[in-house]
Chains A and B, each alone.
Chain A
């Protein structure tokens, strides 16, 4: 048996690995996906490769997320330590942009596959199987005899219509026993935000356009197959942006997809999508809700401050953010969003503007944090040019523009780390409860209870408003006093208050989930599942382990 191990996060079905697996399968290669979601998976992945009677002839490491790169590099080192002698390659956004540094610093890696790698991985495996040279295959980065990185030309971007559908083995995720699976109808995003490595990635291969679309009929056929073969009812569109930069064309595309889905005979389904605020118009979203049966839309608000909109190159205005919320409210659509509260140019005024926006949209769950500097992004390049980066390519850091705003940021993190980023971070898990409510409303209208629905909305509103109030107290404090011992006392008081609110909210959230569970009488609510499994993606801080 000659097989390839594909190692990566698999919290949801990892479509990047599953697309690779499908292309490998079409080329006659067997592959296995080994989930590496956290330290807890380290032993099983290592054993699955080195403990196998016939180890794989190649290992592919999915390095899309910069903050998890140390985990995957440690895995490469550990594989060599345990005697693995096959080829180790890596791919994904981070590996593509940091290929030179990775090959320079980590001899455990043999190569990097840059960009969308369906064809590159197949060609690499063919060459390895044949014993022929692979170094100059399109998309490959190799190491020269002198130890330097050598990049061949980029491979042509795949024709999305010609790609085999991603492999769909295994049991899907479920919410109240309704099957959930991700799917993509496009790759890329038309926007070009300074902090976004997705935009940087697609700008590298398709400058100026940055997105490609699948044919609606092909997408609908895949959805129908997923429902027929695996019972999927909830389709999570992981398109970087489900929409295109023209409302009329977006509307036509959504209608075409809805027509194709109808023609395929799908009737009982729901969708989840992502949008930019400017994509949210009454006409487009009416079709999204009514014909594509959308039950959740992540709207990339990111910032509502004029300063932030410029720094992050959002190509939008505050009014569009507000309109997106207004449209969602008018349609009864559940949305959620993130706010990048702190960026390299943030001021106290921009923080206050963002808090005002959260206040305005408090009936929808959100999280907030700092803009991180990702490989390949214009923002990282700018900060390097300005000499403001500290750390290294695995973990860039920076200080905010003024001492006051840096102090504010540190005080905010001291108060909000557990809520926003800790294990079971409530800012994330409460989204699961809201999703449960939507599932019941859509799939179980007979047991839908408007009182319970309103209680769930009120609960996430309570958490949002508590976050706003705490942040405003911190902002007033920083604006009105110099750094000193009062900081410690205030943080202690506010953090205590925040934890107390979280205890209350969590208890009520679980009570709502429990009541939904009892009413539906099948499967489990996402509240229970997300409580355990959504955490690893948030833990950017490397964790030491003991023997």
Chain B
């Protein structure tokens, strides 16, 4: 028996964690799982050579690493296609508001982490931009994290969000579609889908 390397990099003494409360979802179990598989597979198949190599190379070093601290974040400018590192998700963090605001979460995924990303601008259709918070923490193995808070135009709005991303001299615009629904409880996730732009999406 051999063990996977990546797992060993992470080992710790986990606290007896409580799961975050969740609310029931509108889709059936099959639909939810299919959607999750589709998104994960899409990311898997779309991995750039650089990102794929980074993940694979990590596999070969795990169990020999005595110090399990994740590697320090690297500057995104070393990547040939930096914006493939950015994953997006959505959540409605509060049930307060009419309708409550949603948060678009942009963060780098995988290891090592990369920093140096920027959100240069955000344009919203069917909603109003409330704030852009850069919560990137470069220390302690950190990573890139942006919270874009949006007030939906209505409780059932289909919202389009154009995000201008930057990394050094490279820039790119990403468009996301969000079908908003008022959450039953705070913290509920909300589906975010990237819309492929037909024109030149940027320099990456």
CB A242 to nearest CB in B, in angstroms, measures 13
Interface residues on A, range: 35 or more
A44 and B55: CB pair below 8 A? yes
Interface residues on B, range: 35 or more
Given contacts A77-B34, A369-B21, A543-B189, A33 and B16 within 8 Å (CB-CB): no
Please, what's the 1-or-0 string for A388-429, where 1 marks a CB less than 8 Å from any CB in chain B? 001111111100000000000111011001001101000010
CB B105 to nearest CB in A, in angstroms, measures 8
- Choose the segment among B84-92, B118-126, B148-156 that binds chain A (4+ C-beta atoms closer than 8 Å): B84-92
User: Which chain B residue shows the least CB distance to A35?
Assistant: B7
B198 interface contact, C-beta 8 A = no
Q: For residue A390, which residues in chain B have a CB less than 8 angstroms away from its CB?
A: 23-24, 184
A52 interface contact, C-beta 8 A = no
CB A422 to nearest CB in B, in angstroms, measures 8
Chain B residues 121-160 with CB under 8 Å of chain A are 140-141, 145
CB B190 to nearest CB in A, in angstroms, measures 8
B110 interface contact, C-beta 8 A = yes
Contact of B13 among A43, A180, A540, A542 (CB under 8 A): A180
CB A473 to nearest CB in B, in angstroms, measures 15
CB B4 to nearest CB in A, in angstroms, measures 5
Q: For residue A480, which residues in chain B have a CB less than 8 angstroms away from its CB?
A: none
User: Could you jot down 29 A-B contacts, CB within 8 Å?
Assistant: A12-B11, A32-B2, A33-B4, A33-B7, A35-B6, A35-B7, A77-B33, A78-B41, A170-B8, A171-B8, A171-B68, A272-B13, A338-B16, A367-B18, A372-B22, A395-B23, A396-B24, A417-B20, A417-B187, A420-B18, A421-B19, A421-B187, A435-B13, A533-B70, A538-B20, A541-B22, A542-B36, A546-B43, A547-B42
Q: Which 5 pairs across A and B sit closest by C-beta, in order of nearness?
A: A391-B24, A35-B7, A10-B7, A421-B20, A173-B11
Q: Which residues of B contact A (CB under 8 A)?
A: 1-8, 10-25, 28-30, 32-34, 36-37, 39-44, 46-47, 52, 55-56, 58-59, 62-70, 86-91, 93-97, 109-111, 140-141, 145, 174, 176, 184-194
Q: Which residues of A contact B (CB under 8 A)?
A: 10-13, 21-22, 24-25, 30-35, 37, 39-48, 65, 67, 70-71, 73-75, 77-78, 81-82, 101, 105-106, 167, 169-175, 180, 234, 236, 272, 274, 298, 336, 338, 340, 342, 367-370, 372, 390-397, 409-411, 413-414, 417, 420-421, 423, 428, 431-432, 435, 487-488, 491, 510, 523-524, 526, 528-534, 537-547
